[in-house]
Structure 1
Amino acid sequence: MEFITSSRGAPKLCFDSFTYTKKKSSKTTITWECSQRRTLECKGAVITDSPATEIRSSREHNHEKDDSHVGGLKVRKEIQLSVQANRGWPGQIIADKMFSQPVEVRVAAGTTETIKRGIRRKRAGDAPNNPEKLDAIPSPLPESYTHQLVYDNDSGSDRVLVSVRSQTGGLIFRRTQPRFEPATWNVNTATLNDEARTNNVCEAWNNGFRCLVGHVNPSLWTVISCFEKDAAMVEAEILRVQRGQPSKKPARKGTVRYQKTLKTLCQQLSNGQKTVEEFLQAIGGHIRLR
């Protein structure tokens, strides 16, 4: 018998490969009911003493034991606990914890995007309150927020903070001739057919693997280890697809609205409702600078 904390902070009892949530308590006993009571209409329950140290009685479940589900809850809890001490990328934290787990446990733990959201919520909850004015920024900054800080003049209302997102701290520009003619990469037809206009799928993997490695010049053994971790996550996703539960990254409402706008403009150009000049002016009004 052991306890873990749910994503909402409530205690969960793990016993004999089943999980239970607290139903009611008295001065001497606590009643726990099966966590699958709603999804599977299970009436399984146990009664412990108060505080819970031993099982006094139990009621049978209408479903089989699920070691993978219990293991998934435990590994998610480990990830949440490690977030407090590890300021690394969410994908890197997840891969480190999931790599040694069986594939069934990886699937039961949930999709990568779901766990990442939990990590971000945890970090947001642990972060200091946002200052309402410059004078309210703490001085010095908390140690966990200074790893990318390169300059802090610490001068009150005239304070200047400079941080970088890369080890070089700058950008490099170069001018080259286009390798492919515009007709090769024109995405007008792809926009009209609701097809992908970019290689974002490849870029997403590339960015995720870069975060998993964690630094610019890794050793051969680090790269091999990261490939193994990435393969473990892919194996879990394949099993999830085979079970008919493919993970789907939610699209932002702004992105969906932006895609519809681009498609409408391309349709108006194709139908002759807009000239090329009008089309380019309309497109220019939707360019987003970050």
Structure 2
Amino acid sequence: MELIATSRGGRKLLHEGYAYTKQRAHESSVRWECSKKKTAMCKGSLITDVNVSRVHAVTGHTHAADNVAMSALKVRKEIMDTAEARGGRPGQILADKLATCPLEVRAALGKRESLKRQIRRAKRGAAPPNLKAMEGAPCPFPGRCGRKLPESGRPFITCDDGPEDSRLLGFASDDGPELLRAARGWPVGGTHSTAPRHFAQLFCVRVPPPQAAVALDRRQLHAEG
């Protein structure tokens, strides 16, 4: 049993030739559903403990196990990790990794051009999470999914209160929290229509910047007068 991160920031659980995605979590267990639930109409599922270290129950699948596909998922993850950590030309990264892969695993990985595009996204740190809902989003939210601020290099994401359905993500500039603290009031605007996909509500909190004062000596005042 092995957990791997996908190229879009999600997670898959690999077990005995099948891949699963998280369906829901309980106090003492986690339920996973077959990743081919839609494409193969498969009702296979798996129940693990909350630490995903032990299998409690398995529901059968409508398709055969595919160990080659599982190996391809692992290799794809290794390729993207290498791209993020070391960089380099996509063609060279692929050549180095595929040199030791069996032919059937290479075929299961798909087209080289598609892999190169994924490598470029991984290098840019711009691969967004593939979410059906906020449940299942990586926690904490990966910094690579949020643009870094040019003035400090810190992530734009300033808070993440957990993976529950009511999860709240906060984004702010470096001086944003201090401006909020100093402001007398917070004009808040909220809208459903422009909220990004997978988010129920988007709130924008605006505060005026502090008033700037410039000290002028008498000569400057006389010249301006």
Look up the equivalent residue of 2:47 and give its one-letter code.
I
Residues 65-99 of structure 1: per-residue CA shift (max 9 Å, x gap): 10111011000100011113323210110111111
- Secondary structure of 1:19's aligned partner: strand
- After TM superposition, the runs of 4+ consecutive aligned structure 1 residues lying more than 2 A away are 84-87, 126-131
Q: Percent identity?
A: 41
Aligned twin of 2:44:
44
Aligned twin of 1:59:
59
Residues 30 and 137 (structure 1), Cα distance of their counterparts in 2 relative to 1, 3 Å cut: closer
Aligned twin of 1:87:
87
TM-score by length of 1: 0.43
Bigger radius of gyration: 1
- Secondary structure of 1:85's aligned partner: helix
Superposition pairs of residues 206-217 of structure 1, within 5 angstroms: none
- Cα contact 2:7–2:80 (8 A) shared by 1: no
Look up the equivalent residue of 2:50 and give its one-letter code.
S
- Secondary structure of 1:107's aligned partner: helix
Aligned residues: CA RMSD: 2.2
Residues 142-167 of structure 1: per-residue CA shift (max 9 Å, x gap): xxxxxxxxxxxxxxxxxxxxxxxxxx
- Secondary structure of 1:9's aligned partner: coil
Q: 2:84, 2:6 → 1: CA distance?
A: 17
Look up the equivalent residue of 1:107 and give its one-letter code.
A
- Secondary structure of 1:106's aligned partner: helix
- Secondary structure of 1:14's aligned partner: strand
Aligned twin of 2:162:
none
- Cα contact 2:17–2:70 (8 A) shared by 1: yes
Aligned twin of 1:122:
122
Aligned twin of 2:97:
97
Superposition pairs of residues 1-290 of structure 1, within 5 angstroms: 1-125=1-125
Q: Which structure features the higher share of helix residues?
A: 1
The answer for unaligned runs of 5 or more in structure 1 is 139-290
Q: 1:10, 1:128 → 2: CA distance?
A: 18
Once the 2 structures are TM-superposed, how far is the Cα of residue 118 of structure 1 from its aligned partner? 1.0
Q: 1:18, 1:67 → 2: CA distance?
A: 8
Q: 1:85, 1:5 → 2: CA distance?
A: 15
